[in-house]
Chain A
Amino acid sequence: MTDFAFLTIAEAAKLLNGKEISPVEYAQSLLDRISAHDGAYNSFLHVSADMALDEARAAESEIMAGNWRGPLHGVPYALKDIVDAAGMPTTCHSQVMQRNSLPETDADVTDRFKKAGAVLLGKTATHEFAIGGPSFDLPWPPARNPWNRDHFTGGSSSGSGAALAAGFVPAAIGTDTGGSVRNPASMCGLVGMKATYGRVSRRGVFPLSFTLDHVGPMTRTVEDNAILLNIIAGHDPQDPGSAQVDKPDFTAGLGKGVKGMRIGVIRHFFETDMQADPEMAKGIEDALDVLRGLGAEVRDMTLAPLDHYAATNRVILLPEAYAIHEKWFQERPEDYGELARQRIMGGAFIRAADYVNATRVKGQLVRAYNEAMREFDVAITVSSMDPACEIEDAEATERTYGRQARAPFNVLGAPAMAVPTGFSSSGLPLSMQIVGKPFDEAVIYQVAHAFEQATDWTERRPPMAA
Protein backbone atom coordinates (compact mmCIF):
# COMPACT_ATOMS: atom_id res chain seq x y z
CA MET A 1 0.00 0.00 0.00
CA THR A 2 1.37 3.41 -0.97
CA ASP A 3 2.19 5.88 1.79
CA PHE A 4 1.00 9.04 0.06
CA ALA A 5 2.01 11.51 2.77
CA PHE A 6 5.67 11.84 1.90
CA LEU A 7 5.71 10.90 -1.77
CA THR A 8 7.87 13.31 -3.70
CA ILE A 9 6.45 14.93 -6.81
CA ALA A 10 8.94 12.93 -8.90
CA GLU A 11 7.84 9.65 -7.31
CA ALA A 12 4.16 10.50 -7.57
CA ALA A 13 4.50 11.49 -11.22
CA LYS A 14 6.00 8.12 -12.06
CA LEU A 15 3.26 6.24 -10.18
CA LEU A 16 0.47 8.39 -11.63
CA ASN A 17 1.73 8.17 -15.19
CA GLY A 18 2.14 4.42 -14.77
CA LYS A 19 -1.46 4.24 -13.51
CA GLU A 20 -0.17 2.57 -10.33
CA ILE A 21 -1.94 5.09 -8.12
CA SER A 22 -5.08 7.11 -8.68
CA PRO A 23 -5.20 10.92 -8.38
CA VAL A 24 -8.46 10.51 -6.47
CA GLU A 25 -7.04 8.15 -3.84
CA TYR A 26 -3.94 10.37 -3.60
CA ALA A 27 -6.00 13.51 -2.99
CA GLN A 28 -8.39 11.72 -0.64
CA SER A 29 -5.52 10.29 1.38
CA LEU A 30 -3.98 13.74 1.90
CA LEU A 31 -7.37 15.30 2.68
CA ASP A 32 -7.88 12.60 5.32
CA ARG A 33 -4.43 13.33 6.75
CA ILE A 34 -5.18 17.05 6.89
CA SER A 35 -8.47 16.33 8.62
CA ALA A 36 -6.77 14.08 11.18
CA HIS A 37 -3.73 16.19 11.99
CA ASP A 38 -4.05 19.83 10.95
CA GLY A 39 -5.85 20.76 14.13
CA ALA A 40 -2.41 20.63 15.72
CA TYR A 41 -0.61 22.70 13.07
CA ASN A 42 -3.16 25.19 11.63
CA SER A 43 -1.47 25.03 8.27
CA PHE A 44 -4.64 25.42 6.20
CA LEU A 45 -7.07 28.34 6.33
CA HIS A 46 -9.35 26.80 3.73
CA VAL A 47 -9.54 23.19 2.53
CA SER A 48 -11.42 22.80 -0.75
CA ALA A 49 -12.14 19.07 -0.58
CA ASP A 50 -14.99 18.96 -3.10
CA MET A 51 -13.18 21.09 -5.65
CA ALA A 52 -10.01 19.05 -5.15
CA LEU A 53 -11.77 15.75 -5.67
CA ASP A 54 -13.44 17.12 -8.84
CA GLU A 55 -10.00 18.11 -10.16
CA ALA A 56 -8.58 14.72 -9.15
CA ARG A 57 -11.37 12.87 -10.96
CA ALA A 58 -10.75 14.96 -14.08
CA ALA A 59 -7.03 14.17 -13.88
CA GLU A 60 -7.80 10.48 -13.43
CA SER A 61 -10.01 10.40 -16.52
CA GLU A 62 -7.35 12.08 -18.63
CA ILE A 63 -4.52 9.88 -17.38
CA MET A 64 -6.55 6.71 -17.84
CA ALA A 65 -7.28 7.85 -21.41
CA GLY A 66 -3.53 8.13 -21.99
CA ASN A 67 -3.39 11.93 -21.84
CA TRP A 68 -0.78 12.49 -19.11
CA ARG A 69 0.07 16.21 -19.07
CA GLY A 70 3.35 16.01 -17.18
CA PRO A 71 4.83 15.68 -13.71
CA LEU A 72 2.17 17.67 -11.85
CA HIS A 73 -0.81 15.93 -13.43
CA GLY A 74 -2.91 14.63 -10.55
CA VAL A 75 -0.48 15.93 -7.92
CA PRO A 76 -1.97 17.82 -4.93
CA TYR A 77 -0.69 21.27 -3.96
CA ALA A 78 -1.53 24.25 -1.76
CA LEU A 79 -1.40 28.03 -2.21
CA LYS A 80 -0.41 30.61 0.36
CA ASP A 81 -3.59 32.52 1.05
CA ILE A 82 -2.53 35.72 -0.65
CA VAL A 83 -2.64 33.95 -4.03
CA ASP A 84 -5.93 33.99 -5.92
CA ALA A 85 -7.78 30.89 -7.03
CA ALA A 86 -11.10 31.56 -8.73
CA GLY A 87 -14.05 30.79 -6.50
CA MET A 88 -11.97 30.42 -3.33
CA PRO A 89 -11.61 33.23 -0.77
CA THR A 90 -8.29 35.07 -0.55
CA THR A 91 -8.14 36.20 3.08
CA CYS A 92 -4.48 37.22 3.46
CA HIS A 93 -5.04 35.80 6.98
CA SER A 94 -6.76 39.07 7.83
CA GLN A 95 -10.10 40.30 9.02
CA VAL A 96 -9.62 43.17 6.57
CA MET A 97 -10.19 40.81 3.64
CA GLN A 98 -13.09 38.90 5.15
CA ARG A 99 -15.47 41.51 3.76
CA ASN A 100 -14.05 41.22 0.26
CA SER A 101 -15.60 39.16 -2.50
CA LEU A 102 -14.24 35.96 -3.96
CA PRO A 103 -11.70 36.32 -6.76
CA GLU A 104 -13.23 35.52 -10.12
CA THR A 105 -9.94 34.74 -11.84
CA ASP A 106 -6.84 32.74 -11.05
CA ALA A 107 -3.44 34.14 -10.31
CA ASP A 108 -0.94 33.40 -13.06
CA VAL A 109 0.70 30.68 -10.95
CA THR A 110 -2.66 29.07 -10.18
CA ASP A 111 -3.47 29.08 -13.87
CA ARG A 112 -0.17 27.36 -14.63
CA PHE A 113 -0.86 24.68 -11.99
CA LYS A 114 -4.32 24.12 -13.50
CA LYS A 115 -2.92 23.78 -17.00
CA ALA A 116 -0.45 21.22 -15.62
CA GLY A 117 -3.39 19.22 -14.22
CA ALA A 118 -2.44 19.67 -10.54
CA VAL A 119 -5.03 19.33 -7.77
CA LEU A 120 -5.51 22.30 -5.42
CA LEU A 121 -6.25 21.10 -1.86
CA GLY A 122 -6.64 24.55 -0.36
CA LYS A 123 -5.13 27.80 0.90
CA THR A 124 -2.52 27.97 3.63
CA ALA A 125 -1.94 30.23 6.60
CA THR A 126 0.30 33.27 6.26
CA HIS A 127 1.39 36.13 8.43
CA GLU A 128 -1.25 38.83 8.02
CA PHE A 129 -0.73 40.37 4.56
CA ALA A 130 2.59 38.47 4.43
CA ILE A 131 4.12 40.69 7.13
CA GLY A 132 2.25 40.63 10.45
CA GLY A 133 2.96 37.47 12.37
CA PRO A 134 3.04 35.10 14.04
CA SER A 135 -0.08 36.63 15.57
CA PHE A 136 -2.64 35.41 18.06
CA ASP A 137 -5.07 38.33 17.57
CA LEU A 138 -6.30 37.38 14.08
CA PRO A 139 -9.41 35.44 13.00
CA TRP A 140 -7.27 32.29 12.59
CA PRO A 141 -4.39 30.98 14.73
CA PRO A 142 -0.83 30.93 13.40
CA ALA A 143 0.62 27.80 11.81
CA ARG A 144 2.84 25.66 14.02
CA ASN A 145 6.02 23.78 13.21
CA PRO A 146 5.54 20.02 12.63
CA TRP A 147 9.05 19.34 13.97
CA ASN A 148 7.87 20.73 17.30
CA ARG A 149 4.50 22.40 17.50
CA ASP A 150 5.64 24.68 20.30
CA HIS A 151 8.01 26.28 17.82
CA PHE A 152 7.69 28.89 15.10
CA THR A 153 7.33 27.86 11.46
CA GLY A 154 9.04 30.97 10.22
CA GLY A 155 7.07 33.18 7.90
CA SER A 156 5.38 34.60 6.22
CA SER A 157 4.57 31.52 4.11
CA SER A 158 4.04 29.72 7.40
CA GLY A 159 1.17 27.44 6.48
CA SER A 160 2.85 26.30 3.27
CA GLY A 161 5.91 25.33 5.32
CA ALA A 162 3.87 23.49 7.94
CA ALA A 163 1.73 21.69 5.33
CA LEU A 164 4.78 20.38 3.47
CA ALA A 165 6.63 19.28 6.59
CA ALA A 166 3.53 17.54 7.93
CA GLY A 167 3.06 15.53 4.72
CA PHE A 168 -0.19 17.26 3.77
CA VAL A 169 1.00 18.23 0.27
CA PRO A 170 4.13 17.59 -1.81
CA ALA A 171 4.07 21.09 -3.33
CA ALA A 172 3.16 24.53 -2.10
CA ILE A 173 3.49 28.13 -3.17
CA GLY A 174 4.88 30.86 -0.98
CA THR A 175 5.82 34.47 -1.53
CA ASP A 176 9.03 36.22 -0.54
CA THR A 177 9.62 39.96 -0.02
CA GLY A 178 12.27 39.81 2.69
CA GLY A 179 12.67 36.04 2.92
CA SER A 180 9.15 34.63 3.34
CA VAL A 181 9.62 31.51 1.20
CA ARG A 182 13.07 30.74 2.56
CA ASN A 183 12.28 31.38 6.22
CA PRO A 184 9.62 28.68 6.63
CA ALA A 185 11.68 26.42 4.38
CA SER A 186 14.60 26.88 6.79
CA MET A 187 12.52 26.44 9.94
CA CYS A 188 10.58 23.42 8.67
CA GLY A 189 13.38 21.44 6.96
CA LEU A 190 12.31 22.18 3.38
CA VAL A 191 13.60 23.46 0.08
CA GLY A 192 12.35 26.94 -0.82
CA MET A 193 13.36 28.92 -3.91
CA LYS A 194 13.07 32.65 -4.46
CA ALA A 195 13.87 32.79 -8.14
CA THR A 196 15.13 35.90 -9.93
CA TYR A 197 12.81 38.91 -9.81
CA GLY A 198 10.62 38.66 -12.90
CA ARG A 199 11.02 34.89 -13.30
CA VAL A 200 7.60 34.04 -11.80
CA SER A 201 4.55 36.23 -12.35
CA ARG A 202 3.05 38.07 -9.38
CA ARG A 203 -0.30 38.66 -11.10
CA GLY A 204 -3.18 37.69 -8.83
CA VAL A 205 -1.02 37.73 -5.71
CA PHE A 206 -1.85 40.32 -3.04
CA PRO A 207 1.15 42.68 -3.08
CA LEU A 208 3.35 43.61 -0.16
CA SER A 209 6.09 45.50 -2.01
CA PHE A 210 5.96 45.86 -5.78
CA THR A 211 9.71 45.95 -6.31
CA LEU A 212 10.67 43.23 -3.82
CA ASP A 213 7.86 40.65 -4.05
CA HIS A 214 8.62 37.22 -5.47
CA VAL A 215 6.44 34.11 -5.81
CA GLY A 216 8.29 30.88 -5.10
CA PRO A 217 8.05 27.10 -4.99
CA MET A 218 8.32 25.19 -1.70
CA THR A 219 8.91 21.44 -1.63
CA ARG A 220 10.56 18.69 0.40
CA THR A 221 13.30 17.94 -2.15
CA VAL A 222 15.48 19.84 -4.60
CA GLU A 223 14.30 17.86 -7.61
CA ASP A 224 10.67 18.59 -6.76
CA ASN A 225 11.48 22.27 -6.43
CA ALA A 226 13.04 22.36 -9.90
CA ILE A 227 10.01 20.53 -11.31
CA LEU A 228 7.74 23.12 -9.72
CA LEU A 229 9.73 26.08 -11.03
CA ASN A 230 9.53 24.52 -14.50
CA ILE A 231 5.75 24.79 -14.19
CA ILE A 232 5.31 28.22 -12.62
CA ALA A 233 8.10 30.24 -14.31
CA GLY A 234 7.50 32.14 -17.52
CA HIS A 235 6.80 35.54 -18.95
CA ASP A 236 3.47 37.13 -18.13
CA PRO A 237 2.70 40.28 -20.13
CA GLN A 238 0.15 41.27 -17.48
CA ASP A 239 2.81 41.51 -14.75
CA PRO A 240 4.83 44.70 -15.32
CA GLY A 241 7.81 43.18 -13.51
CA SER A 242 7.79 39.95 -15.51
CA ALA A 243 11.00 39.32 -17.44
CA GLN A 244 11.09 38.28 -21.07
CA VAL A 245 13.85 35.71 -20.83
CA ASP A 246 14.33 32.14 -21.94
CA LYS A 247 13.10 29.52 -19.53
CA PRO A 248 15.58 26.66 -19.26
CA ASP A 249 14.77 23.20 -17.95
CA PHE A 250 15.57 23.72 -14.27
CA THR A 251 16.08 19.97 -13.79
CA ALA A 252 18.75 19.81 -16.52
CA GLY A 253 21.72 20.05 -14.15
CA LEU A 254 20.45 17.53 -11.58
CA GLY A 255 22.88 14.65 -11.23
CA LYS A 256 25.75 16.48 -12.92
CA GLY A 257 27.60 17.13 -9.67
CA VAL A 258 29.75 20.07 -8.61
CA LYS A 259 33.23 18.99 -9.66
CA GLY A 260 35.21 22.10 -10.61
CA MET A 261 32.43 24.50 -9.67
CA ARG A 262 33.43 27.73 -7.93
CA ILE A 263 31.47 28.30 -4.74
CA GLY A 264 31.76 31.57 -2.83
CA VAL A 265 31.06 31.71 0.91
CA ILE A 266 29.52 34.95 2.20
CA ARG A 267 30.89 34.23 5.64
CA HIS A 268 30.82 37.78 6.99
CA PHE A 269 27.00 37.72 6.94
CA PHE A 270 26.96 35.11 9.73
CA GLU A 271 30.32 35.48 11.44
CA THR A 272 31.03 39.20 11.79
CA ASP A 273 28.03 41.24 10.54
CA MET A 274 25.94 39.01 12.77
CA GLN A 275 26.81 35.86 14.70
CA ALA A 276 24.78 32.79 13.82
CA ASP A 277 23.87 30.17 16.39
CA PRO A 278 26.85 27.75 16.61
CA GLU A 279 24.82 24.75 15.43
CA MET A 280 23.54 26.71 12.42
CA ALA A 281 27.09 27.82 11.55
CA LYS A 282 28.43 24.29 11.95
CA GLY A 283 25.72 22.99 9.62
CA ILE A 284 27.02 25.35 6.94
CA GLU A 285 30.67 24.39 7.55
CA ASP A 286 29.74 20.71 7.30
CA ALA A 287 27.88 21.41 4.05
CA LEU A 288 30.91 23.21 2.64
CA ASP A 289 33.05 20.18 3.54
CA VAL A 290 30.61 17.94 1.66
CA LEU A 291 30.79 20.17 -1.41
CA ARG A 292 34.60 20.30 -1.24
CA GLY A 293 34.58 16.53 -1.03
CA LEU A 294 32.48 16.42 -4.19
CA GLY A 295 35.11 18.43 -6.04
CA ALA A 296 33.93 22.03 -5.72
CA GLU A 297 36.38 24.88 -5.21
CA VAL A 298 35.19 26.77 -2.12
CA ARG A 299 36.48 30.18 -1.01
CA ASP A 300 35.22 33.22 0.85
CA MET A 301 33.74 36.26 -0.88
CA THR A 302 32.77 39.68 0.39
CA LEU A 303 29.66 41.74 -0.25
CA ALA A 304 28.35 44.88 1.43
CA PRO A 305 27.56 44.47 5.15
CA LEU A 306 24.38 42.62 5.97
CA ASP A 307 22.72 45.57 7.69
CA HIS A 308 23.24 47.71 4.61
CA TYR A 309 20.99 45.32 2.70
CA ALA A 310 18.55 44.93 5.58
CA ALA A 311 18.01 48.68 5.94
CA THR A 312 17.71 49.13 2.18
CA ASN A 313 15.13 46.34 2.04
CA ARG A 314 13.00 47.88 4.79
CA VAL A 315 13.22 51.48 3.54
CA ILE A 316 11.88 50.26 0.17
CA LEU A 317 9.43 47.67 1.48
CA LEU A 318 7.61 49.70 4.12
CA PRO A 319 6.51 52.74 2.06
CA GLU A 320 5.42 50.45 -0.77
CA ALA A 321 3.39 48.34 1.67
CA TYR A 322 1.99 51.40 3.40
CA ALA A 323 0.87 52.87 0.07
CA ILE A 324 -1.18 49.72 -0.51
CA HIS A 325 -2.75 49.78 2.95
CA GLU A 326 -3.05 53.51 3.64
CA LYS A 327 -6.78 53.85 3.02
CA TRP A 328 -7.60 50.90 5.29
CA PHE A 329 -5.14 52.13 7.91
CA GLN A 330 -6.93 55.46 7.97
CA GLU A 331 -10.45 54.04 8.00
CA ARG A 332 -10.35 50.69 9.82
CA PRO A 333 -7.12 50.15 11.74
CA GLU A 334 -8.94 47.94 14.23
CA ASP A 335 -9.34 45.26 11.55
CA TYR A 336 -5.58 44.63 11.52
CA GLY A 337 -3.60 42.61 14.02
CA GLU A 338 -1.08 44.44 16.16
CA LEU A 339 2.01 43.22 14.30
CA ALA A 340 0.72 44.16 10.84
CA ARG A 341 -0.29 47.58 12.17
CA GLN A 342 3.11 48.23 13.70
CA ARG A 343 5.19 46.92 10.80
CA ILE A 344 3.30 48.39 7.86
CA MET A 345 2.72 51.75 9.57
CA GLY A 346 6.46 52.41 9.62
CA GLY A 347 6.08 53.20 5.92
CA ALA A 348 3.98 56.27 6.76
CA PHE A 349 6.99 57.83 8.47
CA ILE A 350 9.73 57.25 5.90
CA ARG A 351 10.62 60.32 3.87
CA ALA A 352 10.22 60.23 0.09
CA ALA A 353 13.90 61.14 -0.33
CA ASP A 354 14.94 58.17 1.81
CA TYR A 355 12.77 55.84 -0.27
CA VAL A 356 14.23 57.14 -3.54
CA ASN A 357 17.76 56.97 -2.18
CA ALA A 358 17.21 53.39 -1.04
CA THR A 359 16.24 52.44 -4.58
CA ARG A 360 19.42 54.16 -5.80
CA VAL A 361 21.45 52.18 -3.26
CA LYS A 362 19.70 49.07 -4.51
CA GLY A 363 21.06 49.76 -8.01
CA GLN A 364 24.56 50.09 -6.59
CA LEU A 365 24.25 46.86 -4.64
CA VAL A 366 23.04 44.99 -7.72
CA ARG A 367 26.01 46.15 -9.77
CA ALA A 368 28.47 45.22 -7.02
CA TYR A 369 26.89 41.78 -6.56
CA ASN A 370 26.98 40.99 -10.26
CA GLU A 371 30.64 42.02 -10.36
CA ALA A 372 31.50 39.87 -7.32
CA MET A 373 29.68 36.88 -8.77
CA ARG A 374 31.80 36.90 -11.93
CA GLU A 375 34.33 34.79 -10.01
CA PHE A 376 31.79 32.24 -8.78
CA ASP A 377 29.11 29.89 -10.05
CA VAL A 378 27.05 30.13 -6.85
CA ALA A 379 27.53 31.42 -3.32
CA ILE A 380 26.54 30.00 0.04
CA THR A 381 25.52 31.80 3.20
CA VAL A 382 23.20 31.46 6.16
CA SER A 383 19.43 31.74 5.81
CA SER A 384 18.20 32.05 9.41
CA MET A 385 20.77 32.79 12.11
CA ASP A 386 18.97 30.49 14.57
CA PRO A 387 16.81 27.38 14.58
CA ALA A 388 13.08 27.93 15.16
CA CYS A 389 12.30 29.69 18.44
CA GLU A 390 9.21 29.07 20.55
CA ILE A 391 6.15 30.47 18.82
CA GLU A 392 4.56 31.96 21.94
CA ASP A 393 7.72 33.85 22.90
CA ALA A 394 6.87 37.18 21.25
CA GLU A 395 10.28 38.73 21.92
CA ALA A 396 12.05 35.75 20.36
CA THR A 397 9.86 35.68 17.26
CA GLU A 398 10.38 39.44 16.85
CA ARG A 399 14.16 38.91 17.02
CA THR A 400 14.03 36.37 14.18
CA TYR A 401 12.67 39.13 11.95
CA GLY A 402 16.13 40.70 11.75
CA ARG A 403 18.39 37.71 12.42
CA GLN A 404 18.52 36.47 8.85
CA ALA A 405 20.46 36.93 5.60
CA ARG A 406 17.62 36.52 3.12
CA ALA A 407 16.61 40.15 2.55
CA PRO A 408 19.81 40.94 0.58
CA PHE A 409 18.60 38.73 -2.24
CA ASN A 410 15.25 40.50 -2.44
CA VAL A 411 17.11 43.79 -2.76
CA LEU A 412 19.36 42.23 -5.41
CA GLY A 413 16.55 40.42 -7.22
CA ALA A 414 18.98 37.51 -7.45
CA PRO A 415 17.93 33.87 -7.07
CA ALA A 416 18.34 32.32 -3.61
CA MET A 417 17.27 28.98 -2.23
CA ALA A 418 17.04 27.59 1.30
CA VAL A 419 18.29 24.02 1.64
CA PRO A 420 18.30 21.80 4.77
CA THR A 421 21.71 21.14 6.35
CA GLY A 422 20.71 18.96 9.29
CA PHE A 423 19.15 19.23 12.72
CA SER A 424 19.97 20.98 15.96
CA SER A 425 20.56 19.05 19.19
CA SER A 426 16.91 19.75 20.03
CA GLY A 427 15.74 18.20 16.76
CA LEU A 428 14.92 21.40 14.87
CA PRO A 429 15.92 21.89 11.22
CA LEU A 430 19.09 23.74 10.20
CA SER A 431 19.63 25.28 6.78
CA MET A 432 21.75 27.31 4.42
CA GLN A 433 21.12 29.47 1.38
CA ILE A 434 22.56 28.79 -2.05
CA VAL A 435 22.41 31.95 -4.16
CA GLY A 436 23.28 32.64 -7.76
CA LYS A 437 23.53 34.98 -10.68
CA PRO A 438 20.36 36.50 -12.13
CA PHE A 439 18.33 33.92 -14.06
CA ASP A 440 20.84 31.18 -13.22
CA GLU A 441 18.52 29.13 -11.00
CA ALA A 442 19.46 25.90 -12.83
CA VAL A 443 23.00 26.06 -11.41
CA ILE A 444 21.64 26.55 -7.88
CA TYR A 445 19.53 23.43 -8.32
CA GLN A 446 22.57 21.52 -9.63
CA VAL A 447 24.63 22.38 -6.52
CA ALA A 448 21.76 21.83 -4.10
CA HIS A 449 20.93 18.47 -5.64
CA ALA A 450 24.53 17.29 -5.42
CA PHE A 451 24.58 18.24 -1.74
CA GLU A 452 21.20 16.63 -1.09
CA GLN A 453 22.25 13.38 -2.74
CA ALA A 454 25.37 13.25 -0.55
CA THR A 455 23.35 13.68 2.67
CA ASP A 456 20.02 12.45 4.01
CA TRP A 457 18.59 15.62 5.49
CA THR A 458 15.54 15.81 3.25
CA GLU A 459 14.60 12.18 3.99
CA ARG A 460 13.78 12.68 7.68
CA ARG A 461 10.19 13.06 8.85
CA PRO A 462 8.79 14.98 11.82
CA PRO A 463 6.91 13.27 14.64
CA MET A 464 3.21 13.89 14.10
CA ALA A 465 0.84 15.18 16.72
CA ALA A 466 -2.76 13.96 16.68
Chain B
Amino acid sequence: MNDTDNKKALEAAHAAGLDRMAERYPDDVARAFAFAQSLRSRLTIDVAPADEPAHVYRAGGDS
Protein backbone atom coordinates (compact mmCIF):
# COMPACT_ATOMS: atom_id res chain seq x y z
CA MET B 1 0.00 0.00 0.00
CA ASN B 2 1.36 3.43 -0.95
CA ASP B 3 0.26 6.77 0.49
CA THR B 4 -2.39 7.24 -2.21
CA ASP B 5 -3.90 3.83 -1.46
CA ASN B 6 -3.88 4.57 2.26
CA LYS B 7 -5.62 7.87 1.64
CA LYS B 8 -8.26 6.15 -0.47
CA ALA B 9 -8.77 3.55 2.25
CA LEU B 10 -9.26 6.17 4.94
CA GLU B 11 -11.65 8.15 2.73
CA ALA B 12 -13.69 5.00 2.13
CA ALA B 13 -13.73 4.29 5.87
CA HIS B 14 -14.99 7.79 6.67
CA ALA B 15 -17.62 7.47 3.94
CA ALA B 16 -18.81 4.27 5.64
CA GLY B 17 -19.14 6.02 8.98
CA LEU B 18 -16.01 4.38 10.36
CA ASP B 19 -14.47 7.61 11.67
CA ARG B 20 -13.40 6.18 15.00
CA MET B 21 -11.95 3.12 13.27
CA ALA B 22 -10.03 5.28 10.80
CA GLU B 23 -8.58 7.42 13.59
CA ARG B 24 -7.58 4.57 15.89
CA TYR B 25 -6.73 1.77 13.48
CA PRO B 26 -5.59 3.23 10.15
CA ASP B 27 -3.39 0.19 9.45
CA ASP B 28 -6.34 -2.18 9.90
CA VAL B 29 -8.41 0.01 7.56
CA ALA B 30 -5.65 -0.09 4.95
CA ARG B 31 -5.33 -3.87 5.12
CA ALA B 32 -9.10 -4.43 4.95
CA PHE B 33 -9.42 -2.04 2.03
CA ALA B 34 -6.57 -3.69 0.13
CA PHE B 35 -8.06 -7.15 0.71
CA ALA B 36 -11.48 -6.01 -0.54
CA GLN B 37 -9.89 -4.57 -3.68
CA SER B 38 -7.96 -7.77 -4.33
CA LEU B 39 -11.14 -9.83 -3.93
CA ARG B 40 -12.86 -7.74 -6.55
CA SER B 41 -10.14 -8.50 -9.05
CA ARG B 42 -10.30 -12.23 -8.24
CA LEU B 43 -14.07 -12.52 -8.70
CA THR B 44 -14.84 -14.01 -12.10
CA ILE B 45 -18.23 -12.79 -13.31
CA ASP B 46 -19.52 -14.47 -16.42
CA VAL B 47 -23.28 -14.47 -15.98
CA ALA B 48 -26.16 -13.91 -18.38
CA PRO B 49 -28.44 -10.91 -17.70
CA ALA B 50 -31.23 -13.22 -16.55
CA ASP B 51 -29.07 -15.19 -14.10
CA GLU B 52 -30.56 -14.48 -10.69
CA PRO B 53 -28.83 -14.46 -7.30
CA ALA B 54 -28.73 -17.81 -5.54
CA HIS B 55 -30.02 -16.48 -2.21
CA VAL B 56 -30.50 -19.60 -0.11
CA TYR B 57 -30.35 -23.23 -1.04
CA ARG B 58 -33.62 -24.83 -2.06
CA ALA B 59 -34.65 -28.32 -1.15
CA GLY B 60 -34.85 -29.46 -4.76
CA GLY B 61 -31.11 -29.20 -5.23
CA ASP B 62 -30.88 -26.38 -7.78
CA SER B 63 -30.76 -22.80 -6.64
What's the Cα separation between A363 and B54 when bound, in Å? 5
| Contact call B18/A211, Cβ cutoff below 8 A | no
Residues A346 and B36 in contact, CB atoms below 8 Å apart? yes
Q: How far is the CA of A197 from the CA of B54 in the complex (A)?
A: 12
A367 and B62 within 8 A (CB): yes
Query: How many residues of chain B have a CB within 8 Å of chain A?
Result: 39
A460 within 8 A of B: no
Interface positions of B from 47 to 63, Cβ below 8 Å from A: 47, 51-59, 61-63
Q: Would you give the shortest CB distance from A306 to chain B, in whole angstroms?
A: 11
With A333-B24, A345-B18, A354-B43 known as contacts, the answer to whether A363 contacts B59 (CB < 8 A) is no
A194 at the interface (CB under 8 A from B): no
Docked CA distance A349–B21 (Å) = 14
| Contact with B57, one of A241, A310, A330 (Cβ below 8 angstroms) | A241
Are A330 and B53 in touch, CB under 8 angstroms? no
Identify the closest chain A residue to B49 (Cβ).
A360
The residues of B that contact A331 with a CB separation of less than 8 Å are 20
Q: What 0/1 pattern do residues 14 to 32 of B give for CB contact below 8 A with A? A: 0011111100110011011
Asked if A423 is an interface residue, CB under 8 A from chain B, the answer is no
A315-B39 in contact (CB<8A): yes
Q: In the assembled complex, which residues on chain B have CB atoms less than 8 Å from the CB atom of A245?
A: 59
Q: How far is the CB of B52 from chain A (nearest CB, A)?
A: 7
**New contact pairs (13) apart from A318-B39, A350-B36, CB-CB < 8 Å:** A196-B57, A211-B56, A330-B18, A338-B25, A341-B28, A344-B32, A346-B33, A349-B16, A360-B53, A361-B47, A363-B52, A363-B53, A413-B56
Partner-A contacts on B (CB < 8 A) = 9, 12-13, 16-21, 24-25, 28-29, 31-33, 35-37, 39-40, 42-47, 51-59, 61-63
Q: Interface on A for B, CB 8 Å cutoff?
A: 196-198, 211, 240-241, 243-245, 307-308, 310-312, 314-315, 318, 326, 329-334, 338, 341-351, 354, 356-364, 366-367, 370, 413, 437-439
